[in-house]
Structure 1
């Protein structure tokens, strides 16, 4: 099966600032480009970090003194409130992905790192794109007919080598239902798992019978 890769979903034109960019320039860049984050890069285009709107907000209303006065000090907030240049404001090191990663791989890294976006770098670690949660969700815009065709061809015919005529596949709004009979009982959970990995699938429900119970150890 061919899964969509990060390179197909990422934004190629990344808004960037140098590590010495002043606070107001960063805020102006975010506003003018209507983005929620910018990448901080070195002179060779390699990412050093990311600055989001969240990194700039502690500066509002001159809160540096306020944060220092709190009973329980928050050094992260203090640092952001006191920062004046990109290198002081950015979250570093940046969380990066490769362009040939699948959507699932990118989503797992986002979840593990608790980030909303990944910078995409090439083999030389040069920034070539950015991919967000919203970008990854685009796989669920895939039409039902394409999902069904992939299940019928790549999953049934090639993956588990079952005759497509023995199994009926219906797809509605990404929800897959399987009806019919497979040769071996052990193929049922395998077929379910393979269907779930198809891009755009929301859920899989099976109503399958089997000819041979190859799971019986008795």
Structure 2
């Protein structure tokens, strides 16, 4: 199976540019109610994922930092505590499932590292759940 089946394209995904400010990230994440968002560079390449935790840890460790000050901090200057790995659009399903087991979403890149979308863990789970459900129904019908 091609992992593109699960892809939510970039045009339908919220992402941040690494030259955006911490405040812009906070506002966008709050508006969309996301706890983590992919970050891309000026060339559209996947640069990592920023999480609420990354932003909160920065504020915790800088007690003099006010919300107003967050408009002066670039996302590129926010330390990231977790490295969310991207997969190539040509990756196999096993690699995808392995990453999805520890990431809410898996960023997907093309052969040049350009961000093209995400695959949500929930979409993978729902797909395999439906396969198991159909198999169960078939076995129950066969037993009757």
Q: TM-score, normalised by structure 1?
A: 0.50
Question: Could you list the per-position Cα deviations for residues 170-218 of structure 1 after superposition, in whole angstroms to 9, with x for gaps in the alignment?
Answer: x316x969x9xxxxxxxxxxxxxxxxxxxxxxxxxxxxxxxxxxxxxxx
Larger CA Rg, structure 1 vs 2: 1
Does 2:84 correspond to 1:106? no
After the TM superposition, which residues 1-218 of structure 1 pair with which residues of structure 2 at under 5 Å, given as runs?
Answer: 3=1, 5-12=2-9, 13-59=12-58, 62-64=59-61, 84-89=73-78, 91=80, 94-111=84-101, 114-139=102-127, 140-142=129-131, 144=134, 171-172=135-136
Rounded Cα–Cα distance in structure 1 between residues aligned with 2:96 and 2:79 = 21
Whose helix proportion is higher, 1 or 2? 2
Going from structure 1 to structure 2, the CA distance change for 1:135 and 1:90 (only over 3 Å counts) comes to: farther
Give the 3-state SS of the residue equivalent to 2:8 in structure 1: coil
Contact 1:48 1:94 in 2 (8 A): no
Rounded Cα–Cα distance in structure 2 between residues aligned with 1:123 and 1:28 = 32
**Count of residues in correspondence between the two structures:** 128
Going from structure 1 to structure 2, the CA distance change for 1:6 and 1:53 (only over 3 Å counts) comes to: farther
Question: Alpha-carbon deviation of 1:97?
Answer: 1.0
Q: CA RMSD in A?
A: 2.9
Question: Alpha-carbon deviation of 1:135?
Answer: 1.9
Contact 1:23 1:86 in 2 (8 A): yes
Contact 1:47 1:94 in 2 (8 A): no
Whose strand proportion is higher, 1 or 2? 1
Runs of 4+, deviation exceeding 6 Å: none
Rounded Cα–Cα distance in structure 2 between residues aligned with 1:58 and 1:93 = 15
Give the 3-state SS of the residue equivalent to 2:122 in structure 1: helix
Query: Runs of 5+ in structure 2 lacking a partner?
Result: 64-71
Give the 3-state SS of the residue equivalent to 1:104 in structure 2: helix
Rounded Cα–Cα distance in structure 2 between residues aligned with 1:176 and 1:102 = 29
Contact 1:50 1:90 in 2 (8 A): no
